[in-house]
Structure 1
Amino acid sequence: MKKTLFILFFIFCVSVFSADYFNSKALFKKIAYMPTGFTNGLVFDGQSFFTTDRHKDILYEFKGNFNDGFKIEKFVELPDYEPSALDFNGKLFAVSDLEKEFIYLIDFKTGVCVKTLPAPYKRITGLAFDKDGNLWACIYRGKTIAKISKNDGTTLREIKSPSPTVSAMCFMPSKTREGYLWVADRGKDRLYLVDIQSGLTIFYLKSPVPYPTGIFYRDGKLYVSCYQKDEIYVADINSIKNKCERFDIRDAKVTVYSTVECMGTGEIKDANVYIAIPENRDNQELRVTKLDGKYELVKDQYDQKVAVYSAKDMKNGDFLNSKMEVEGRFYAISYKIFPDEIGTEKDIPEDVKKVYLKDDEKYVLTSPVIQNVIKKVVGNEKNLYFKARKLFEFLADRINYQMIGGWDIAPVVITRGTGSCSEYTFSYIALCRAAGIPARYVGSVVVRGEDASFDNVYHRWAEIYLPPIGWIPVDVNAGDEEWQGDKCYSFGGIANRFLITTVGGGNSKYMKWDYNVSVDYKTIGKANVRVESFAEWDVLRSKKLMKTDYDTNLKFYNFEKRSCF
């Protein structure tokens, strides 16, 4: 009777990230009720709120608190018949008119309309004065946001709208740039931060209300009002700068399998299976990792932990089996990156630069293809965020997803214009490193639809180093979206359906360019080797997850032995 060695490996992993997490649900606080219904637009001058009533064609000022209630202090009749948006420049209110397609500048103290401007669009839903006093206007079902002259309403510039269902807008000043626009989306219940200078949507917050038709920024606070609930909410925006939001919890069990089988008349002289061991990260808290069988624990040059299963002299019918079980809690995450707050190349640690700026065979940083993209896309840009973001936008537009086997080098993929997720990732890493931004990749197993699902395709994406945050996820493949409001999520965010097992920067000593699982072998004669690797996701049968109390001590339990392990 054969003896079997059965080893269980338990590890409570130390978190490799130390982000300060928040959740949008707790970020916004209800502070006021609207004293009237059918409101569009919101302004707060530090003491009073202002809004319009689209039925009565009136601009209201109101004050109050929850104890004493909220009451109207003053109102003026508007020259329009369907007010749809509102903003304030410190002296005059701007009000848009859906029916007549005009924008009116109102002196609230006197009730006088001092100027009438032609609207650049029909159905304006948001207005915002910028730092120069010009107006920005967004529209429902429009693809652009327009900047118009404060003097005569001439359209000066257009940028991409984050969504087709935008419903309100306001301006937020910037330390180093032209400023930002906060844009509300009634269709997807989001609040987007849009950079005026580049026209890029940076990130979004979840709206605290189902129908945001008023939004206003003042002194680090963002105010949002709701057409449906007649309520006002406020959030401290300074409290989330460069922090990570975690949401959409998934408790799950993941099992990774790999089998090497000798099916021919020859022999497998040596066979090795390398399984990447996951750690706790922003997106995952792992309760237990269990490895079956006899293995050796090693680390590669990127500090990736690997379990190595080996067998020798395998004949027909022999197997080398390996299995890893992981239980844990998985999150969707999204970094709220404020480009003004990002450091420079001097702020990147030298040990990070040394490892994650160097070339490797898949990258070819000196290639004319890579260098020409850097010159064309990055140009004279100095901000690390916008360097990386411009390269993300370029590659998402340039490459179409196509998985045909093999992982070609970055210059070939960029020239060809098609690639798999790994080829997207290698190309992005090459461009970032050539631009002076440290970059690496992570590999994962993926929930494919249902909570209990099978995955043998896997998924890989990049991470870049932005000081003072550290490593953030960038998935160019997932960022291939039409609307900026959808595309921005993939720059700094991932969904809750990934178990990240692998972190690498290039050709790993053990994993090579693979992730999750890697296999190599040597044969004699007609060995006819069969290799199968895949992962299974399943729901946790017990909802009682252990309290996270990480311990780096490894515990081994030895039982019986089988010759092929």
Structure 2
Amino acid sequence: MSSDSPVLPPQTRADLRTVRPFGVYRLHGLTFLGDRAIAVDSVRGHLLEIDLTTENTTILNPYQVSDFLDVRGLAFWQESLWLTREDTVYCCPDARDRLGREPLKFEEFARLGDRLSGVAVWESAVYVSCQRAGYIYILNRNSGEIITQFYAPGIGEENLAVSEEDLWICDSEEQTIYCMDRATGDLRYNLLTPYSHPTAIAFDPRQVSAHRLLHVAYAEEEIYIRDDPNASNPHQVSFRDRTFIHPVCFQYHPQQHYTLSNGYLVEMSYVEELSPLEPVQFEKLDWRIALPADTARQRLKEVRAIGMPFEEETERGQRFAVFKFDTLQQDEARIFGWKALVELYSIKYHLTPRDVEDLPELPEEFKQLYLVDNDQLAMNSDIVRQAAREAIGNETNLLRKILSIRDYVYDKLDYGIKPYIDPPDVVLERGVGSCGEYVGVLLALLRLNGIACRTVGRYKCPPHPERKGVPLQPDYNHVWLEFYVPGIGWIPMESNPDDNEEGGLHPMRFFMGLAWHHIELGKGIRFESLRLDGVPIHKSKIPLGDLALNHVRFTILDELPPPNPEE
């Protein structure tokens, strides 16, 4: 990893703590007045001082809550407090002296006509975001006039913070923080947040400039099981508000075009329990299970056998655990698998169409491996070939072609879980697909357009980083894909999680990005397979699901700062 990477690490592990203020429903604004964290609860209208060490929560406007209902953005600049509410930016010039002592008197600074979100102030400029317009407006702090405007980088509600030459934006739908040049609007890089629905962002000024912590507030509804002793069915599904503040630490690698953010040390176990549907007997059987890969965002720290020993082999650079049975007898009882200790980080690539112009030729080996129909992709069928043409239109840029294909598939398919995977021609005809079927359609359309790609998976850790030390089981397996950019490398792309709004804009959070809870197993090869006397057996002849039951378990052990850039 490059040593010239800008880093925002925590000072100690204590800095990684999650702050859960008392009696708060939805935080939307967050800022600092000196070393005091100031936030607003938009549901209750409470202007709050929150101690990030003790979680002590103080209401600063006990007699003025109506003025802060539905406030979306909050910022301090010198003596003044700024906020957005509905379509208006307000300013209280002498807030520092009045805060917590007497009512704040706000002046209308600017009315922009559309509902506003975030606000940030730096010297003579006031930055205001508007989701409906899709812009970040830059206003003159003295006159209130619009100086210029930048395109908002995401599609959700965006909150803002400023740090010297950079404008920082958190997007609630994209689960992403963007670092933008505040003078030009050029996007420098972006990164994924460890939790979904970020609603506010602020820098902690207590640390020195090179190591300032970036705090992010989150707000969403969570599902929980409510115990109602008076009901005939006492356990009921219900919803409650959840809001908290958690620091984001990251490491930007400009030469490799990606940013790593909050990581977790995770223990993953994958175990097979022999449970054949019919009596079977095999001689010289090798049962191969892929191990977690070592990648830019994932490190396999150690692995140990469960139930019976294995031998380790390598295929296309991927490590496998091979369990050998000289004779697998009828009614034989076995439990076997592995337990791995893995460091996982979120990764987000920042590539523009300009970055992928004048690329070198795709290596011949890649053409033979990743441009062919090697997994029942129906690439010769009329409906798939027509879809491949329609998906890109007249586009010639590699990155734009890939994004066009992704959005085409999202627009053509609805998500649905199925027990088996149909080929892409059947899926396109039906218009509904599981995550594996999304991957199949994407692979076919990408490869027909000369874009090398491969399948990656196979599981995601349940995304609950606050549940450390608790065994977690995923509900389903999961697959996604990677596409290859010559001269740069393999870039991840989710298959279907952001196909969530019919006819609307699709988020970009997992286009060229993966959240920390994705586990990379078996990149471009089968995650699990059988060999008899050294000869591979296709899954259609001996379905693994007919032979055994799998048991998958995750335990989140610790949160990690970014890896050492010298490693």
The TM-score normalised by the length of structure 2 is 0.57
Q: Aligned partners of 2:377, 2:2: CA distance in 1, in Å?
A: 30
Q: Among 375, 380, 384, which residue is 2:394 paired with?
A: 380
CA distance in structure 2 between the partners assigned to 1:437 and 1:203 by the alignment: 25
8 Å Cα contact 1:297/1:308 also seen in 2? yes
**Match of 1:470, as an amino acid?**
G
Partner of residue 142 from structure 1, selected from 128, 132, 148: 132
Offset at 1:274? Answer: 1.9
**Contact 2:300/2:343 (CA < 8 Å) preserved in 1?**
yes
Q: Matches of 2:445 and 2:499 in 1, distance apart?
A: 17
Shift of 1:145: 5.0
Contact 2:287/2:530 (<8 A) preserved:
no
Structure 2 vs 1, CA of residues 492 and 533 (structure 1 numbering), >3 Å: closer, same or farther? same
Q: Which residue in the other structure is 1:164 paired with?
A: 157
Cα separation, partners in 2 of 1:21 and 1:258, compared to 1, 3 Å: farther
Match of 1:493 in 2: 513
Question: What does residue 497 of structure 2 align with?
Answer: 478
Q: In the alignment, is the contact (CA less than 8 A) between 2:314 and 2:320 conserved in 1?
A: yes
1:110-147 Cα shifts (integer Å, max 9, x gaps): xxxxxxxxx7x5659799xxxxxxxxx98645264599
SS of the equivalent of 2:281 reads strand
Q: Give secondary structure in 2 for the equivalent of 1:413.
A: helix
Q: Any idea what SS the aligned residue of 2:80 has?
A: coil
- Mapping of 1:98-109 within 5 angstroms? 98=111, 101=112
Deviations 1:10-29 (A, max 9, x none): xxxxxxxx6889577369xx
**2:522 counterpart (497, 502, 524):** 502
CA shift at 1:439, angstroms?
A: 0.3
Change in Cα spacing, 1:210 to 1:238, as seen in structure 2 (3 Å) is same
CA distance in 2, matches of 1:497, 1:531: 26
Flag the structure with larger Rg.
1
| Separation of aligned partners in 2, 1:485 and 1:36 | 40
- In structure 1, C-alpha distance between the alignment counterparts of 2:542 and 2:172, rounded to whole Å: 57
Q: Which residue number in structure 1 is paired with residue 548 of structure 2?
A: 531
Contact preservation (8 Å) 1:167, 1:183: yes
Whether 1:269 and 2:282 are equivalent positions in the alignment is yes
CA contact (8 A) 1:167 1:184 kept: yes
Q: For residues 518 and 403 of structure 1, do their structure 2 counterparts lie closer, same or farther at Cα, with a shift above 3 Å needed?
A: farther
Select 2:441's aligned residue among 402, 427, 434: 427
**Corresponding pairs, count:** 413
Q: Contact conserved, 2:281 with 2:329, CA < 8 A, in 1?
A: yes
Q: Distance in 1 between matches of 2:547 and 2:192?
A: 48
**1:440 is aligned to 2:451:** no
Give 1:46's aligned residue. Answer: none
* SS of 1:472 mapped into structure 2: strand
CA 1:360 to 1:398, structure 2 compared with 1: closer, same or farther past 3 Å? same
Alignment of 1:247-286 (within 5 A): 247-261=261-275, 266-270=279-283, 272-286=286-300
Match of 2:380 in 1: 366
CA contact (8 A) 2:457 2:521 kept: yes
SS in 2 for 1:487: coil
Counterpart for residue 130 of structure 1: none
Determine if contact 2:424/2:441 at 8 Å carries over to the other structure. Answer: yes
* Contact 1:20–1:244 (CA under 8 A) maintained in structure 2: no
Aligned to 1:184: 169
What code does the residue aligned with 1:533 have? N
The equivalences for 1:284-299 within 5 A come to 284-292=298-306, 293-299=308-314
**Equivalent runs, 1:454-469 vs 2, <5 Å:** 454-455=473-474, 457-469=476-488
Shift of 1:414: 2.5
- Give the aligned CA root-mean-square deviation in angstroms: 5.7
Tell me if 1:342 matches 2:356: yes
Distance 1:344 1:384, change over 3 A: farther
Secondary structure, aligned partner of 1:280: coil
The range that moved more, 238-247 or 496-505, is 238-247
Deviations 1:151-179 (A, max 9, x none): xx9xxxx999611346699xx9xxxxxxx
The alignment-based identity, stated in percent, is 17
Confirm or deny: 8 A CA contact 2:83 2:90 kept in the other structure.
Answer: yes
Following superposition, the deviation at residue 396 of structure 1 comes to 2.4
Inter-partner Cα distance in structure 2 for 1:334 and 1:399: 25
Contact 1:439/1:463 (8 A) holds in 2: yes
Structure 1 residues 239 and 311: CA distance shift in structure 2, 3 A: closer
In 2, distance between residues paired with 1:19 and 1:394? Answer: 36
Q: Structure 1 CA distance, aligned partners of 2:558 and 2:269?
A: 14
Q: 1:328 to 1:126 in 2, by over 3 A?
A: closer
SS at match of 2:365: helix
SS in 2 for 1:488: coil
Aligned counterpart, 1:25: 8
Give the Cα–Cα distance (whole angstroms) in 2 for the partners of residues 441 and 434 of structure 1: 16
Match runs of 1:14-413 below 5 Å = 25=8, 34-35=77-78, 37-38=80-81, 54=91, 82-83=108-109, 97-98=110-111, 101=112, 121=114, 140=130, 142=132, 144-145=134-135, 162-165=155-158, 184-185=169-170, 191-192=177-178, 204-205=190-191, 210=200, 240=254, 243-261=257-275, 266-270=279-283, 272-292=286-306, 293-300=308-315, 302-311=316-325, 314-344=328-358, 346-413=360-427
**In structure 2, what is the Cα distance between the partners aligned to 1:478 and 1:511?**
34
Contact persistence 2:414–2:432 (CA under 8 A): yes
Native 8 Å contact 1:257 1:323 kept in 2: yes
Contact 2:377 2:441 in 1 (8 A): yes
Give the corresponding residue for 1:111. Answer: none
| Aligned partners of 2:313 and 2:320 also within 8 Å | yes
Structure 1 residue 324: deviation in Å? 1.1
Q: How far is the alpha carbon of 1:278 from its aligned partner?
A: 2.5
| Counterparts in 2 of 1:163 and 1:350: CA distance versus 1, 3 Å | same
For residue 441 of structure 1, report the CA deviation from its aligned partner. Answer: 0.9
Partner of 1:504, secondary structure, is: coil
The one-letter code of the counterpart of 2:473 is F
Per mean C-alpha deviation after superposition, the further-off stretch among 390-399 and 160-169 is 160-169
Q: Kindly indicate whether the alpha-carbon contact (under 8 Å) linking 2:481 and 2:492 is maintained by their aligned counterparts in 1.
A: yes
On the 8 A contact 1:184/1:212 being kept in 2, the answer is no
- TM-superposed deviation, 1:486: 7.7
Instruction: Read off the aligned partner of 1:287 and give its amino acid letter.
Output: K
Q: 2:471 aligns with which of 434, 444, 452?
A: 452
Contact 1:19 1:282 in 2 (8 A): no
The CA distance in 1 between the partners of 2:427 and 2:188, in whole Å, is 27
